[in-house]
């Protein structure tokens, strides 16, 4: 009996030791569960932040990413938290590629149960753990080349094609935000595109589609909302040209520009700040490479005819307005009229609150359109391929999570 009594203390000691080990595993499991929840929160935040940054890769991508991370509970200003944003990943298959945004977040979090062992083990580093997450999103060319953004455009029609006018955009899609029952109105002509999406309904008579439009879609946002209008350089001039051979126009401010008669006009590369009407009725050629025409709240553009002028215009391929050919201020609701011609136009036409009116003979351009609404009338076929620069870039992008 004495021998058995002597062994009772060993059983108690072993029981205490086993309980301590068991509690250690429980503590480890609980704290690891908490860390996994932290990891999930960080990953959700960096995924969203990378997409937000990629959506504005041509704008303030860093602020966009940091703001989105904060909205998802990961604030780079919080103690123990870091959110690093890179325009061009620091590692991976897209390292250094400026069309991709990388977001890396870390957070130091105190443990709960493991903190007890930290004290018992004389500061072994168990009192806190660092969790990290990484995401990469790319700004890939948008599959759409026509956006009409207004929910209630004139007549309720976001896209209006009358009297056999047609659109041919077989390499890209069309999005129409108008909500009316005749948001997409095609009378006699046809629309060919990769996809056709309409918030409202389809109306008109005798029009054909390939493929059939999808109605009732969710509205889309302005894909170029990140653009900031240029500053007025001052010294605005008003010109009227009706003949002769004028020297190339330099960038600057123009309070009015009329080009008529039979005159050939060239624009030097740069940004043209327009505060008044631009009227083009010349039978000659208007050309310019690397140009952006910004129309202020009081500026306007009208190409008339017949006879029609030839426009050979291309957008810049670098700088803040890379890819932007026409940029009408979002507060400017004046109609922009573009006549068909045999010229070459390359770039994005951005007039988010206004109607783009297409007239004249058929035309084929390497452009994308972001407008409040779009209309065409007459025997007019508007053929377009989505704008891409020679290096394959475009300001019209969709963010895609890639890592």
Q: What local confidence, expressed as pLDDT, does residue 11 receive?
A: 61
Angle of the 2-55 helix axis to the 61-71 helix axis, nearest 10: 140
| Model confidence at 111: pLDDT above 70 | no
Q: What local confidence, expressed as pLDDT, does residue 231 receive?
A: 96
- Lowest-confidence segment of 67-76, 126-135, 204-213 by average pLDDT: 126-135
Banded model confidence at residue 29, pLDDT cuts 50, 70, 90: low
| Model confidence at 149: pLDDT above 80 | yes
Burial class (CB in 10 A: 0-12, 13-18, 19+), 21: exposed
- Kindly give the pairing relationship between strand 214-215 and strand 237-241: unpaired
| Model confidence at 33: pLDDT above 90 | no
| Model confidence at 288: pLDDT above 70 | yes
| Average of per-residue pLDDT across 300-306 | 87
Q: Mind spelling out the 3-state secondary structure of the chain? A: CHHHHHHHHHHHHHHHHHHHHHHHHHHHHHHHHHHHHHHHHHHHHHHHHHHHHHHCCCCCHHHHHHHHHHHCCCCCCCCCEEEEEEECCCCCCCCCCCCEEEEEEEEEEECCCHHHHHHHCCCCCCCEEEEEEEEEEEEEECCEEEEECCCCCHHHCCEEEECCCEEEECCCEEEECCCCCCCEEEECCEEEECCEEECCCEECCECEEECCCEECCCCCCCCCCCCCCCCCCCCCEEEEECCCCCCCECCEEEEEEEECCCCCEEECCEEEEECCEEEECCCCEEEEECEEEEECCCCEEEECCCCCCEEEEECCCCCCCCCEEEEECCCCCCCEEEECCCCCEEEEEEEEEEEEEEECCCEEEEEEEEEEEEEEECCCEEEECCCCCCCCCCCCEEEEECC
How distant, in Å, are the alpha carbons of 47, 113, 132, 207, 358 from that of 37?
A: 15, 16, 12, 54, 55
Q: How far apart are CA 118 and CA 374, in angstroms?
A: 68
Q: What is the pTM of this model?
A: 0.78
- Lowest-confidence segment of 95-104, 113-122, 319-328 by average pLDDT: 113-122
Banded model confidence at residue 74, pLDDT cuts 50, 70, 90: confident
| Average of per-residue pLDDT across 187-200 | 93
| Model confidence at 380: pLDDT above 60 | yes
Q: What local confidence, expressed as pLDDT, does residue 301 receive?
A: 96
What percent of the chain is modeled with pLDDT above 70? Answer: 86
Of 103-112, 304-313, 345-354, highest mean pLDDT: 345-354
Q: What local confidence, expressed as pLDDT, does residue 124 receive?
A: 52
Model confidence over 199-233: pLDDT tens digits? 999 987 778 899 999 999 999 999 998 899 999 99
The residue with greater pLDDT, 371 or 49, is 371
Of 77-81, 324-328, 359-363, 376-380, highest mean pLDDT: 324-328
Q: Where exactly are the structural domains of the chain?
A: 2-141, 144-388
| Model confidence at 113: pLDDT above 60 | no
Q: What local confidence, expressed as pLDDT, does residue 197 receive?
A: 96
Q: What local confidence, expressed as pLDDT, does residue 309 receive?
A: 87
CA 301 to chain centre: 25
Cβ pair 251, 268 in contact under 8 A: yes
> In this structure, how many other beta carbons lie within 10 angstroms of the beta carbon of residue 14?
10
Q: What local confidence, expressed as pLDDT, does residue 184 receive?
A: 94
Q: How far apart are CA 249 and CA 268, in angstroms?
A: 6
Q: What local confidence, expressed as pLDDT, does residue 19 receive?
A: 65
- Using only the alpha carbons of the chain, give its radius of gyration: 30
| Average of per-residue pLDDT across 291-312 | 92
Banded model confidence at residue 123, pLDDT cuts 50, 70, 90: low
Model confidence over 151-162: pLDDT tens digits? 999 889 999 998
| Model confidence at 297: pLDDT above 80 | yes
Banded model confidence at residue 14, pLDDT cuts 50, 70, 90: low
- What is the average pLDDT value for the chain, to the nearest integer? 86
């Amino acid at each position: 009996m004495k021998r058995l009594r002597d062994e009772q203390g060993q059983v108690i000691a072993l029981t205490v030791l086993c309980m301590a080990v068991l509690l250690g595993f429980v503590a480890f499991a609980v704290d690891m569960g908490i860390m996994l929840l932290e990891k999930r929160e960080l990953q959700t935040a960096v995924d969203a932040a990378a997409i937000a940054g990629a959506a504005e890769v041509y704008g303030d991508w860093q602020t966009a990413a940091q703001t989105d991370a904060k909205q998802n509970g990961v604030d780079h200003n919080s103690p123990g938290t870091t959110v690093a944003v890179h325009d061009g990943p620091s590692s991976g298959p897209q390292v250094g590629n400026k069309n991709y945004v990388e977001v890396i977040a870390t957070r130091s979090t105190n443990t709960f149960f493991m903190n007890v062992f930290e004290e018992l083990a004389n500061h072994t580093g168990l009192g806190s753990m660092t969790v990290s997450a990484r995401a990469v999103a790319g700004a890939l060319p948008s599959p759409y080349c026509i956006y009409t953004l207004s929910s209630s455009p004139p007549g309720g029609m976001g896209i209006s094609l009358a009297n056999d006018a047609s659109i041919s955009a077989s390499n890209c899609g069309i999005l129409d935000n108008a909500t009316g029952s005749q948001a997409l109105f095609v009378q006699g002509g046809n629309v060919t595109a990769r996809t056709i999406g309409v918030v409202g309904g389809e109306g008109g008579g005798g029009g054909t589609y390939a493929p059939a439009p999808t109605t009732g879609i969710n509205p889309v946002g302005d894909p170029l909302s990140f653009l900031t209008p240029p500053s007025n350089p001052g010294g605005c001039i008003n010109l009227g040209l009706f003949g002769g051979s004028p020297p190339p126009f330099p960038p600057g401010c123009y309070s009015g520009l009329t080009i008529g008669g039979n005159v050939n006009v060239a624009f030097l590369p740069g940004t043209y700040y327009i505060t008044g009407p631009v009227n083009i009725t010349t039978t000659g050629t208007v050309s310019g490479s690397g140009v952006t025409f910004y129309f202020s709240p009081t500026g306007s553009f009208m190409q008339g005819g017949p006879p029609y002028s030839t426009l050979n215009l291309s957008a810049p391929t670098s700088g803040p307005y890379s890819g932007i050919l026409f940029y009408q201020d979002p507060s400017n609701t004046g109609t922009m009229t573009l006549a068909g011609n045999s010229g070459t136009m390359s770039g994005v036409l951005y007039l988010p609150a206004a109607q783009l009116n297409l007239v004249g003979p058929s035309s084929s351009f390497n452009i994308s359109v972001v407008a409040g609404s779009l209309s065409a009338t007459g025997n007019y076929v508007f053929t377009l391929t989505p704008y891409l620069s020679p290096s394959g870039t475009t300001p019209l992008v969709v963010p895609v999570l890639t890592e």
